[in-house]
Chain A
Amino acid sequence: MKTLLILGAGTGGTMVANKMSKCLDSREWRIIIVDKDETHYYQPGFLFIPFGIYSPSDVVKPKRKFLPGGVEIIFSDIELVEPERNRVRLGGGKEINYDYLVVATGSHTHPEQTPGLTDAWHQNVFDFYTLEGATNLGSYLETWKGGRMVLSITEMPIKCPVAPLEFLFLADWYFHKRGMRDKVEIVLATPLPGAFTKPQASAMLGGMLERKGISVEPEFAIMEVDNGKQVIRSYDEREVPYDLLVSIPLNMGADVIRNSGMGDELGFIPTHKNTLQTVKWPNVFIIGDAGNVPSSKAGSVAHFMLDILVENLSDHMKGREMKASFDGHANCFIETGFDKGLLIDFNFDVEPLPGQFPFPVIGPFSLLKESTLDHIGKMGFRWIYWNVLLKGLPIPFVESHMSMSGKKMLSKAPARA
């Protein structure tokens, strides 16, 4: 009997368990999935909680519900991965030997890595990348009288690079709705030169920030939070004052990956970006945020990785050459407030372009352009996530590889991001 071990039962791990349980002969293979937490969080939903659009119950369900029969589920801490020995040590001294390992341990926020950030944690300094942070921020906003709200991105890469922008757009809408927009100053402090990582989308989204009266402090590499003076300070000694600080803390790979010495400086595992096989260990693969693949860290990306991973894993198990190649495809609905949204679709080489999606002319979704339908797509995605995506099923008309169909080519060659 051979063992396929999956570490992490979040978006990526759950999809791999579902798909591989159909691919592998159960007389030959056993599949084990390990996670420390029994609760599955719909992380894209955290964004809506501070503004009262979702409540915590909308974004949590038991993990077990989404995992197939025939897969052994273990809820336990993972203490150490020993890839040289094909072995993983769990809490309580239990060990699992594997033939193949899929690491799906994700990306996690670390506020303690920025000096001063946790001094007034969840008092007037919040995150919204955890359920606790999003919920506490929601309670705080209910009674906030206004002032200067600063959204600070610590360092790239972060999970869902569009979430900070969506947060700003929604905040603008929320304060309008509460009749207090004139009492709130909204500022984005970002290490990037502009609103987003890709030039076309950055220009488009930057224009939207400006129209909504949201100011940007670009190339701001945060050094510390000075809670006494209520400012954030950059390495080049710029200060941005705040009354309310919302932080996207440093993102790092899972503790176990760093403790096992498998990650880079941020604890993301060096991975071949096209095959999804790790650089050092041929029988270890990654899905989702756990690797250092230069694609966005997002659920849609994990979904597009899935078919590539399953094909390559199956081929490698049979001693065949791996032929499937991941192109970095990402597809993100961006909530822009006032019941509008916009959609971006891109990969390693092609930045987000305007047009229609998934079909030319008829769409129905617009690319890089605000529309009510893109908002409906965004809100409908929660249902897709729980009922289609986690099961590893294809999303109709959306291919793993990015398609140029419906996209308008730019007159000049796209600049590299």
Chain B
Amino acid sequence: MADATLASVSFDAEGYMTDPNQWSKEISETLARQEGLAALTAEHWKIIDFCRQTGLASGKAPTLRQITTGTGISTKDLFALFPKGPAKKVAKIAGLGKPEGCV
């Protein structure tokens, strides 16, 4: 989807940003719309901010369980906020790589 906000941002084949430093709040909002979210609420931002923080510190996107443990938001609520695969969806919107999670 063409969008001026994303013009200078680089993505991998699966649509994850390859450089988390290119991220901005505006990019998150655009990516969220692409992912089918109407608007980002304070609850969304609490999760995105948490994922940015831990993701930048550890170099990888947090897993679902790390998000629920770290934010105190229940898994059920997380699925309501980011339907279908919240860990992957947040990682994408937060400008991080795909969560490793599974081996």
Contact = CB atoms under 8 A, between A and B. Distances in A.
Interface of A: 155-157, 161, 191-192, 197, 219, 221, 223, 235-236, 264-266, 294-297, 415-417
Contacts of B63: 265
B103 A295 contact: yes
| Listed residue (B65, B83, B84, B103) with the most chain A CB atoms within 10 angstroms of its CB | B103
A265 B67 CA distance: 10
27 contacts: A155-B65, A156-B102, A156-B103, A157-B101, A157-B102, A157-B103, A161-B102, A197-B102, A197-B103, A219-B84, A219-B85, A221-B64, A221-B79, A223-B75, A223-B76, A235-B76, A235-B78, A235-B79, A236-B79, A236-B83, A236-B84, A294-B103, A295-B103, A296-B103, A415-B13, A417-B102, A417-B103
B26 interface: no
Nearest to B74: A235
Contacts of A221: 64, 75, 79
Determine the main DSSP class of A at the interface with B. loop
Determine the main DSSP class of B at the interface with A. loop
Contacts of B92: none
Contacts of B75: 221, 223, 235
A192 B102 contact: yes
Interface of B: 13-14, 63-66, 69, 75-76, 78-79, 83-85, 98, 100-103
A265 B66 contact: yes
B16 to A, nearest CB: 10
Contacts of A266: 65
Contacts of A161: 102-103
A155 B99 CA distance: 14
A236 B26 CA distance: 28
Contacts of B13: 415
Contacts, number: 45
A265 B13 CA distance: 30
A294 B101 CA distance: 8
A216 to B, nearest CB: 15
A221 B89 CA distance: 14
Contacts of B66: 264-265
A327 B76 CA distance: 36
A155 B103 CA distance: 11
Contacts of A265: 63, 65-66, 69
B65 A294 contact: no
A416 B100 CA distance: 9
Given A161-B102, A235-B75, A236-B84, 8 more contacts: A156-B101, A156-B102, A156-B103, A235-B76, A265-B69, A415-B14, A417-B100, A417-B102
Contact of A416 (B79, B85, B98): B98
Contacts of A264: 66
A123 B103 CA distance: 31
| Listed residue (B63, B79, B101, B102) with the most chain A CB atoms within 10 angstroms of its CB | B102
Nearest to A223: B76
A415 B79 CA distance: 27
B73 to A, nearest CB: 12
Contacts of B69: 265
Contacts of B78: 235
Contacts of B101: 156-157
Contacts of B103: 156-157, 161, 197, 294-297, 417
A86 to B, nearest CB: 27
B75 to A, nearest CB: 6
Across the A-B interface, give the 8 residue pairs with the lowest CB-CB distance, nearest first: A156-B102, A235-B79, A265-B69, A197-B102, A265-B65, A236-B79, A294-B103, A296-B103
